[in-house]
Amino acid sequence: MAVYTEVSDEDLNAFVAQYDLGGVLSCKGIAEGVENSNFLLVTGKGPYILTLYEKRTRREDLPFFLGLMQHLADKGIACPLPVQGMDGQSLRELCGRPAVIVTFLAGMWPRRVMPQHCAELGQALARLHLAVADFRLERPNALSLGGWKDLFEKCAPRADEVSHNLRATLEAELAELEAHWPKDLPAGVIHADLFPDNVFFRGDTLSGLIDFYFACNDFLVYDIAICMNAWCFEIDGSFNATKARLLLTSYQKVRPLSKEELEALPWLCRGGAVRFLLTRLYDWLNHPPGAFVKPKDPLEYLRKLRFHQTVRGLGGYCLGDGGSYDV
Amino acid sequence: MAVYTEVSDEDLNAFVAQYDLGGVLSCKGIAEGVENSNFLLVTGKGPYILTLYEKRTRREDLPFFLGLMQHLADKGIACPLPVQGMDGQSLRELCGRPAVIVTFLAGMWPRRVMPQHCAELGQALARLHLAVADFRLERPNALSLGGWKDLFEKCAPRADEVSHNLRATLEAELAELEAHWPKDLPAGVIHADLFPDNVFFRGDTLSGLIDFYFACNDFLVYDIAICMNAWCFEIDGSFNATKARLLLTSYQKVRPLSKEELEALPWLCRGGAVRFLLTRLYDWLNHPPGAFVKPKDPLEYLRKLRFHQTVRGLGGYCLGDGGSYDV
């Protein structure tokens, strides 16, 4: 669950009075998300989402995140739009935390990912990558190679408590990634956390993307690698090539990938798996006993990493030859 | 938090299709409540609450609870109304659990209880007690004297782990309660769990009561005793006589209490404190490590019990002499 901060009705009413939204009819904490406190706020003008940013979201990054949502919404990408108060500001304080109200997005995230979801996802991701081309703010990806090494150092002493030989596996993998990580690919703002629970659908049709709080600048194709990890494996750990193929072909209908991007994909998938393996491992080793939020299983990503390690080229994903990839 | 069951979009769509509510626009787990899974469901017709009954709510009690909500709503008491499907049924199954959709109630529960809240509460509680007079179903209170003794037996061996001498304190108190518990007072259906988070307000005005899943037949004035425990103590443990006075005077504007009911109140307050002390103690001793729901502090109710034990008659609550209580 994710309601870390209790908001009193007085504080909430005073907060909402700064907007042209009518009175507060209801405000209920939402049990999803793990980083921030989210509430479904119903006012005289309808439903909205109220987010209070907790300590893992850095204040200085908020103008980037909110500016990005505004930019994307202006470009017609369905995503939450920060609502401005009567003073023109969308970012203010509530209960000592930075807080925003954003528009409500209809749709539900898919509990069971079907191939059609991946086709929709690919198109939406490519449209996102085109839409950010003229977004001016930048935010370096703190969770790329350098960040992984820092996380690894913190987790290394106790990594083998979680899985036999995990420390050595990670150490070797980080060295490999460092040697093979691409240096020069088309880059821009990526979502960087586009898991199924951040993508809403109505029926089979994608209705919007949410949760841009890991967005950063990196190689665009790395966003695809994160999605392949998050969307194209079954619960039993098996890789679903149909889903991956739909993700990539739909993406390329909107934004074709270069030969270099396609060739880099297997390494980016390994990197993506390591990124989530490490953050989950860190949370696993460091969550306070009795914490509200159950940490996610790091070993899910160790299994995904092992799969990627066996892949040689795009053929290993049943995605055809990199150079002549059939769009 | 309280979402124990994950509902897939396919299952949800099929479920909602049995109602005349339009399509599902959104469904988000609500982070409040501890017994059942609650979702804020938005359909083409507006917001609703979807509840899945988890194992602590007994299936055979559901007709009582749902019938009560329907009865109260028919009598003009603001509370959630079970929505009937196109087959006329309101209770059906979802994900292997009994499930209902109820109407959405505007309002927020007061995070900080003010005296005016207690005045509103008193009137609403009295109206509830009048409205149930002709409700035909019955449900004995499993959490009265007999139930407390069962709970005590289960907790006794480890009670002193939670507080010094708690076992002996409870044993003596149960004997006292047994000797002094009233035998014959006006009885009917009581809410039995009317804590602040089950009472919604818009501004200072009460907008509705929720969560009837402990409702049962018992002395009506026992419901007041539960409310005095839940609403009339400050966080520091002190008893707020102004709140208690407002609760009682407002109640009596709608339903005057007899001399016998008023005289019994101190014992009923002790019983109410023991009831929540024991259920919280049981949960405290038996919650699985790493459980989602943080158990509530049983000692809050030990402190309340100790306060009630010092009270001799209504004067101890600054509520005047029982017999000539000034309404």
Report the percentage of chain A scoring pLDDT > 90. Answer: 83
B109 domain-assigned? no
* Residue A319: alpha-carbon gap to chain centroid: 24
**More confident call, B4 vs A110:** A110
Contact list in B for residue A108 (CB cut-off 8 A) is: 9, 12, 24, 26-27
Say yes or no: A179 and A277 in one domain: yes
Nearest-CB residue to A107 (from B26, B104, B203): B26
Nearest-CB residue to A31 (from B1, B26, B110): B1
Beta carbons within 10 angstroms of residue A88's beta carbon: 6
Q: Specify the pLDDT at position B31.
A: 82
Domain count, chain B: 2
Cβ pair B9:A201 closer than 8 A: yes
pLDDT, mean of residues A202-214: 94
The CATH number given to whatever domain includes residue B31 is 3.30.200.20
Whether A102 and A82 have beta carbons less than 8 Å apart is answered as yes
Q: Specify the pLDDT at position A9.
A: 86
The CATH number given to whatever domain includes residue B237 is 3.90.1200.10
Q: How confident is residue A35, by pLDDT bands cut at 50, 70 and 90?
A: confident
- The kind and range of the H/E element at B42 are strand B37-43
Say yes or no: B260 and B174 in one domain: yes
Q: In whole angstroms, what is the distance from residue A291 CA to residue A277 CA?
A: 20
Q: Specify the pLDDT at position B4.
A: 74
Cβ pair A202:B108 closer than 8 A: no
Say yes or no: A31 and A127 in one domain: no
Q: Specify the pLDDT at position A327.
A: 39
B322 domain-assigned? no
pLDDT, mean of residues A166-179: 97
> DSSP letter string over B215-255?
-EEEEHHHHHHHHHHHHSB-TTS-B-HHHHHHHHHHHHHHS
Cβ pair A25:B110 closer than 8 A: no
Q: Testing the interface with B: which of A13, A30, A235 to mutate, by most B Cβ within 10 A?
A: A30
Say yes or no: B86 and B142 in one domain: no
Picking from A50, A83, A103, the residue at the C-terminal end of a domain is: A103
Cβ pair B31:A28 closer than 8 A: yes
Say yes or no: B228 and B306 in one domain: yes
Nearest-CB residue to B9 (from A30, A108, A291): A108
Whether residue A222 has pLDDT greater than 70: yes
Say yes or no: A141 and A96 in one domain: no
Q: Specify the pLDDT at position A191.
A: 98
Whether residue A1 has pLDDT greater than 60: no
Interface residues from chain B to A (CB-CB < 8 Å): 1-3, 6-10, 12-13, 23-32, 40, 42, 47, 104-108, 110-112, 201-203, 289-292, 294
Q: Specify the pLDDT at position B190.
A: 98
Q: In whole angstroms, what is the distance from residue A44 CA to residue B158 CA?
A: 51
Contact list in A for residue B290 (CB cut-off 8 A) is: 289-291, 294
Q: Which residues pair with A241 in a beta bridge?
A: none
Say yes or no: A120 and A92 in one domain: no
Cβ pair B29:A24 closer than 8 A: no
Residues B32-45 as b/e (b if ≥16 CB within 10 A, e otherwise) read: bbbbbbbbbbbbee
Nearest-CB residue to B25 (from A25, A31, A106): A106
CA distances from B96 to A144, A302, B76 (A): 43, 33, 33
Interface residues from chain A to B (CB-CB < 8 Å): 1-3, 6-10, 12-13, 23-32, 40, 42, 47, 104-108, 110-112, 201-203, 289-292, 294
Cβ pair B25:A1 closer than 8 A: no
B131 domain-assigned? yes
Contact list in A for residue B297 (CB cut-off 8 A) is: none
Q: Specify the pLDDT at position B6.
A: 82
Say yes or no: B87 and B128 in one domain: no
Whether B37 and B51 have beta carbons less than 8 Å apart is answered as yes
Say yes or no: B130 and B271 in one domain: yes
Whether B64 and B19 have beta carbons less than 8 Å apart is answered as no
pLDDT digit string (tens) for chain B, length 327 residues: 456 778 888 899 999 999 999 999 999 999 877 678 999 999 999 999 999 998 888 899 999 999 999 999 999 999 999 999 999 999 999 999 999 999 999 999 998 999 999 999 999 999 999 999 999 999 999 999 999 999 999 999 999 999 999 999 999 999 999 999 999 999 999 999 999 999 999 989 999 999 999 999 999 999 999 999 999 999 999 999 999 999 999 999 999 999 999 999 999 999 999 999 999 999 999 887 655 567 889 999 999 999 999 988 787 787 764 434 443
Q: Which residues pair with B216 in a beta bridge?
A: B190
Domain that includes residue B93, residue range: 9-103
Say yes or no: B184 and B307 in one domain: yes
Shortest CA gap A311–chain B (Å): 32
Q: What is the mean pLDDT of chain A?
A: 92
Whether A327 and A249 have beta carbons less than 8 Å apart is answered as yes
pLDDT (tens digit per residue) in A315-326: 778 776 443 444
Q: Testing the interface with A: which of B26, B37, B94, B114 to mutate, by most A Cβ within 10 A?
A: B26
Whether residue A114 has pLDDT greater than 50: yes
pLDDT (tens digit per residue) in A249-285: 999 999 999 999 999 999 999 999 999 999 999 999 9
Say yes or no: B131 and B250 in one domain: yes
Picking from B44, B71, B103, the residue at the C-terminal end of a domain is: B103
Q: In whole angstroms, what is the distance from residue A308 CA to residue A248 CA?
A: 17
Picking from B103, B128, B160, the residue at the C-terminal end of a domain is: B103
Residue of chain B with shortest Cα separation from A42: B106
B325 domain-assigned? no
Least confident segment among A2-6, A121-125, B293-297:
A2-6
Q: Specify the pLDDT at position A316.
A: 78
Say yes or no: B84 and B141 in one domain: no
Q: Specify the pLDDT at position B24.
A: 93
Between A and B, how many residue pairs show a Cβ–Cβ distance under 8 A?
99
Q: In whole angstroms, what is the distance from residue A191 CA to residue A199 CA?
A: 11
B295 domain-assigned? yes
Of A217, A256, A254, the residue nearest A124 (C-alpha): A254
